[in-house]
Chain A
């Protein structure tokens, strides 16, 4: 059983806290008793999906586009989603939910006007049911990635990597030349000798990293200040994208490129820790984890208008009372929000911050 904490934007109940207030201090999320250990958490615009180690999925937040497939239009607590098969992976677009079944079949539910359902010409809704997108060979290792108007799926086998993608293509984020949308899963790239390990998706640009930590492919409307030529060395420990910026973890630093209107680019001069072990990116904020002696710290930075980077120099424990966002932290420097003994998992959604242990 996991414990889950969160804060930030909550207009549609996407935090699962039984209320719809934006909050600026971490609160514990009430979880259904049947939920086992959390394996993955993913957010769309206003909905949140949890995958547990039993292969069950749970959702909360906006269901107006049937992205959760439940009877209610809006939920403010995690509910088990109807699905007859065990689930291995999940990803969300703005208003849809994509799952990978144990039979390596991709199913989707929800709505999408930019081809992100992958169901072919003109299909923009699945009408409250799971619809099959495609199937992969048994035994292949398949990983799902979502951004607001796109999905990318990596299909790894003994014979190499194949990357599929679909959705908006107005910035050549999938294929050249540009097109308004790619409405069916389409091969973006394949290789028999390179294995893709990670895909980082911005709003309309994507980065692909291999298992040797090389940045092997970069597509779409990449922030101008970012230069792939200087980045082919094997020095990337992690890569994540906010919607309008790209961030690399290299030997204890976060190097950022792109939109900096709200302190999204990490300011290493305002950060005195030297042991970053991992980081993730939400829509316009980042979350990183450091290790100090025998405990871990979680820090947030970037656009914080919805309370998603916490109270500046505020508490580092989970709060039992609701701290409604007071707009005291809009544009956040690196800000410590949590301390714990066990290595935490972190995730950033659309102005939402998630920690589970």
Chain B
């Protein structure tokens, strides 16, 4: 079983980097938690820090990703189902 996350972070508080397609958020160790947008699309909710054991849960709905895919100028792996 995966260990409990250190914290829960809403996707709007993260920074999206269109060039690497990564969402990042500061880790208390000085490095950054990272997760790829496509992994979030596929249902991943954990972002991990490359420098320590801490992880965060990313709070989002799949449809939240639309604006970031648009910003990066790429298509999601499958069409996004936008709630109406």
Contacts and interface: CB of A to CB of B under 8 A. Distances in A.
B29 interface: yes
A91 interface: no
Give the size range of A's interface with the partner.
Answer: 20 to 34
Q: Main secondary structure on chain A at its contact with chain B?
A: loop
B10 A9 contact: no
Contacts of A337: none
B23 to A, nearest CB: 12
B52 A94 contact: no
B30 A9 contact: yes
Given A168-B13, A306-B52, A351 B29 contact: yes
Nearest to A148: B26
Give the size range of B's interface with the partner.
Answer: 10 to 19
Contacts of A333: none
Nearest to A242: B28
A113 B15 contact: yes
A11 B51 contact: yes
Interface string A282-296: 111000000000000
Contacts of A170: 10, 12-13
A242 B7 CA distance: 13
A100 interface: no
B31 interface: yes
Interface in B24-81: 26-32, 51-54
A305 interface: yes
B7 A350 contact: no
Interface string A319-357: 000000000001000000000000000000111100000
Nearest to B10: A170
B13 A94 contact: no
Contact of A9 (B4, B15, B29, B32): B29
Given A305-B52, A305-B53, A180 B12 contact: yes
Given A9-B51, A149-B26, A306-B29, 17 more contacts: A9-B30, A11-B29, A11-B51, A45-B32, A46-B30, A114-B15, A168-B13, A170-B10, A180-B12, A261-B4, A262-B6, A282-B28, A305-B29, A305-B53, A350-B26, A351-B28, A351-B52
